[in-house]
A and B are shown apart, each in its own frame.
Chain A
C-alpha cells in the first residue's frame, strides 16, 4: 500500500503538468493550484488534482501532439515498441459536447490510454473528463512489485541502520524530476494516447 502511494504520488507532479495541457488557455487559476495538489498523498485511483481544474470553455486550439517523435528516424529506444493500441472507454456518455463555448453540462467519463511497455513492466494512463476538460489523470501498472521493487526493498533492508546515508524514498511537492527519462516517456505516451482517444 505504501509503495502504491509512493508510486502514484511520485507521478503527481507530472500528471498535473500534463493535465494542464488540455486545459491550457482559459484554465485560469488551474495551474497555480496544481502544485499544492501535487503534494497531497494520492490514493490509487484517486484524483491528483482535487479542485485543480475549473470548468471552463472548450479545449485549447493548440495541440499537444508530439511532432518530431513520429519521424521514423527518431531514436529507437526500447520502450518505443508499439504496445497494444487498444483503448478502453467507460463512463456515462460516449462523446463530449464539443461545440458550445459556454460551460457544457458536465458529463464525466474516463478514457484509458494504450498500455505502454517500459523497463519495469507496462503502464497505462487513465484520464477522467468532465465535458471536454480533463479533470483527472492516473497511472496504473506503475512498479508496485516485481524484481525492481524487490531489489529496492532488499537494499533498504540490508543497509538500514548502517553508518552511511541510505537511499531513502521521498515523495514531496515536486515541480519536476531529474533523471526520469524512462518512466516519463512511457507515461507521456500513454497519456497522449488517452488524450487522442478522448
Chain B
C-alpha cells in the first residue's frame, strides 16, 4: 500500500485546557488504532484540566487552595505535581513559584507535564514517532510520517505569524514562555511586580514539564539574570531568549 517513505499517520486538534492541543501520530498503525490512541491522549488531557484547572471551582487545585481538600487526600497526580513544583521552586532560586499570584496556580508546570506524560504514554502504547503540541509546549519523538526529524519553529515575539528560530530533533521537549500574549503577566515573586527584559524564553531539553517551568522562571528573572541562570543549566538543556530590545541570544549549540 504505502511506500516505505510515506506513512499515513494521523493528525488531530482539540481544544482542551483553554488552548489548542495538536497531536501528530506518525507511526504506521491502522487508522482506527491511531484514532483510539488520540482519543485516549485527549481524554488524559481533559482529566488533567478537570483536576488542575484554576478556572474550575470544583477542580482539585481550587479545592486544595480553598482548604477544602487536605493534601493527604489529593490524587497521586496532584501530590506528585506539587512535589515537583517544590523542587522547581528550589532549583530556580524561588523564581518558579506556584504562589506567585497569591494563590495556588501550578499552571506553569502542569501544561508541559501533562503533554510530557501524554508523550510517554504514546511511546509505551507503541507510537514512538509523534509530536504533541499543547498550546505551544511541544514534545516530539522519533520522526515525522515522511521519515524526517521534527522541525519546531519558535514563534516570533512580535509577529504571531512568523518564527524566529527553527529547532530540529527526534527527541526534544521545547517550551516557550513569553510576555507577548498577555502583556508582562509573569510576576517576579520576589518583587511582586511584572518582570522585564526578556520578551520570550525558549527552553529545550528532555522533559517538557521542567522546560515549561524553567522558561517561566527565566521570564520572571528578566534580563540579565534570567540569561545567566539559563546558562548554568547542565547539558542537555539548551535555551534561546529574545530580549525586549529584540536580540536573540541562545546556547552555543542548539538542536
Contact = CB atoms under 8 A, between A and B. Distances in A.
B161 interface: yes
B10 A31 contact: yes
Interface residues of A, number: 74
B32 interface: yes
A6 B162 CA distance: 6
Chain B interface mostly: strand
Interface in B202-251: 202, 242, 245-249
Contacts of A35: 144-146, 148
Interface in B129-179: 131, 133, 135-138, 140, 144-146, 148, 150-167, 174-178
A176 B133 CA distance: 7
A31 B145 contact: yes
A5 B207 CA distance: 34
Interface string A171-190: 11111111111111100110
B163 A10 contact: yes
Interface of B: 2-3, 5-20, 22, 24, 26, 31-32, 35, 42, 46, 49, 53, 55-57, 131, 133, 135-138, 140, 144-146, 148, 150-167, 174-178, 180-182, 200, 202, 242, 245-249
Interface of A: 6-8, 10-11, 13-14, 17-18, 20-21, 24-33, 35-36, 60, 62, 64, 66-69, 73-78, 118-120, 142-143, 148-149, 151-152, 155-156, 158-159, 164-185, 188-189, 192
